[in-house]
Amino acid sequence: MNILFAGTSDIGIPSLKALLAEHQLVGLLTQPDRPVGRHQTLTAPATKQFLEKENEGVPIFQPEQLRDPLVLEQLRSLHPEVIVTMSYGKIFPRELLELPAIACLNIHTSLLPRHRGATPIQAAILAGDHETGVTIMHMAEGLDTGDILLQKKISLAPQETAGSLTQQLAELAPEAILEALELLERGAALRTPQPAEGITHTRQITRADAAIDVTRSAAELDRLIRAMNPKPGAHGAFQLPSEKSIPLKIFSAAISSEVSSEKPGSLFLSQDQKLLLACGQGTLELHEVQPEGRARMSATAFAGGYLRK
């Protein structure tokens, strides 16, 4: 089938690779190059970088405005039978939704209607979900409201992070989209409206969302830390035994059985020299941290420099 793929971030690369191998990729629709990093270096999207290395013959489109008549005409000239999107980053206008001959499909990284929106992976961890997955849905003008074509489920490990779950779902997505396209080709694809029950919504995560409120329970903070790993990184200011406050990002932790009388937000060492954080309820054992202005380090290395005499 003639496929136009719309995607920007690296989570879409396995699906893009699968479509290149199994179908006729007529084009890539992605975001414009953007300044990135401290030095604001102009950087191409991950999908563009991949495609330029793998297949120089596929045209790449990076419009700022999808409603531009010239852009729509260029995409229409590709004669796509199906548009497949994954982590593209722009809302499709009606003109683009109606452009492909057969369907406009989105690969969404949750079991819709749960966790509609921009950050379903982080939302699943924050909510303490035991399972999530990939939904292939027909795109509609609403936000992730279209009919479901199929879903693939996976279980979340107890110490799942946003990074590890992103990798798993990126690897699951090609299987799901190729199966969906096969069903479309055979005329066997069913459209199932999303149920009205169980709808939740997510939004873009800001640095403020990753702030650690030490009055919360250890279980809640454990989920927050895992949901914000690798970025933006759960962060806060914590009190050392010297009573000095230190800004710190926490990338890895686990709920501890240690009972503490320390006030919430205090860093201290257990009798066996583990680095602990007192929470509003319970205690966290820290594994990997990053002091402000320093590189990420093990809790042991941090404790050696900041807590042990």
The residues near 103 (Cβ < 8 Å, ≥ 6 apart) are: 82, 83, 138, 184, 189
CA-based angle 256:257:262, to the nearest 5?
80
Q: Which residue has the higher pLDDT, 222 or 305?
A: 222
Query: Does residue 30 carry a pLDDT above 60?
Result: yes
Query: Does residue 217 carry a pLDDT above 90?
Result: yes
Query: Does residue 208 carry a pLDDT above 90?
Result: yes
Residue 1's pLDDT is: 95
* CATH top class, domain 2-185: alpha beta
Query: Does residue 56 carry a pLDDT above 80?
Result: no
Residue 62's pLDDT is: 96
- CATH superfamily assigned to domain 207-306: Formyl transferase, C-terminal domain (3.10.25.10)
Tokens representing 149 are 């074509």
pLDDT band at residue 144, thresholds of 50, 70 and 90? Answer: very high
pLDDT band at residue 309, thresholds of 50, 70 and 90? Answer: low
Q: What is the pLDDT of residues 57-102, one digit of tens each?
A: 899 999 999 999 999 999 999 999 999 999 999 999 999 999 999 9
Beta bridge pairs of residue 6: 29, 85
Residue 141's pLDDT is: 87
Domain with CATH 3.10.25.10 in the chain: 207-306
- According to DSSP, the β-strands at 24-29 and 2-7 are parallel
Residue 20's pLDDT is: 94
130, burial (CB in 10 Å: exposed 0-12, middle 13-18, buried 19+): exposed
Mean of per-residue pLDDT scores for the chain: 95
* Mean pLDDT calculated for residue range 242-247: 93
Domain with CATH 3.40.50.170 in the chain: 2-185
* Weakest-pLDDT range from 37-51, 219-233, 263-277: 37-51
Q: What is the pLDDT of residues 123-134, one digit of tens each?
A: 999 999 999 999
Residue 306's pLDDT is: 87
pLDDT band at residue 39, thresholds of 50, 70 and 90? Answer: confident
pTM: 0.94
Q: Which residue has the higher pLDDT, 54 or 239?
A: 239
d(CA 28, CA 8): 9
